[in-house]
Amino acid sequence: MATVILVRHGRTTANASGVLAGRTPGVELDDVGRAQAERTGERLAAVPLVAVVSSPLERCRQTAQLILDRQEGSPVTPVDDGITECDYGDWQGRTLKELSTEPLWATVQGQPSAVTFPGGESMATMQSRAVAAIRRHDAAVEAEHGPGAVWVAVSHGDIIKSVLADALGMHLDLFQRIAVGPASVSIVRYGTARPEVVASNTDSGDLSWLRAAEPAADAAVGGGAGHA
């Protein structure tokens, strides 16, 4: 099976100031976020990527470019609206401190499957279109490049958390238990029987083992052999 590396964009000016940026145009990486994305690019330099798919928003495209800058090959670089940020509607551009006083905030934290943002999309819709996009790209990568292919999707915190929740077989209502930090790396393989979450929310460590990634068999009873 192919391997998808889910990368959250680096820190932005909105992250630093506690603002829910959403799809606001012009939100870019700050100096900290650029350094974070550069470190992620360094980690991924040892992995020959066949594709780097990005959300259309600036912060993701900047992060994707910093990854591409360290690649020796020429991965394809599609932009996909399917992995863009959640449409937070009327919440977009407001501070998290202010939003935490809204009655809907508690539902976002405890029962996100029931949430539709005023003037925006539902969190269930966000998850379904993001998972569909990731699985579609993954199938296309494997069909073209084979089961050892590795590709990257650069997206947003809630998007990646929802994709990981799906891969883990978790209900969307539990996805807030998953942490996805700026410029973090999470790794998923979609097998014929079930997805395998190889890693989540990592910001350090050698990834060169992915260079020789082999299709993983179903785990034996008692656990798999691991990657070390």
What pLDDT was estimated at residue 225?
A: 52
113-147 tens-digit pLDDT: 999 999 999 999 999 999 999 999 999 999 999 99
pLDDT at position 193 is: 86
pTM of the model as a whole? 0.92
User: Has residue 228 got a pLDDT over 70?
Assistant: no
> Per residue in 77-117, pLDDT tens?
999 999 999 999 999 999 999 999 999 999 999 999 999 99
Q: pLDDT of 170-197, one tens digit each?
A: 999 999 999 999 999 999 999 888 999 9
**Backbone phi and psi for residue 180, each to the nearest 5 degrees, phi listed first:** -140, 100
Please report, for the domain that includes residue 13, its CATH number: 3.40.50.1240
The domain of 89 spans: 3-202
174 sits in the region (left: phi over 0; alpha: psi -120 to 50; else beta) called alpha
- Structural domains in the chain (count): 1
Tokens 């599609």 appear where?
78
Tally helices (H) and strands (E) across the chain: 7, 5
- Asked if the structure places residue 121 within a domain, the reply is yes
| Average pLDDT value for residue range 16-26 | 97
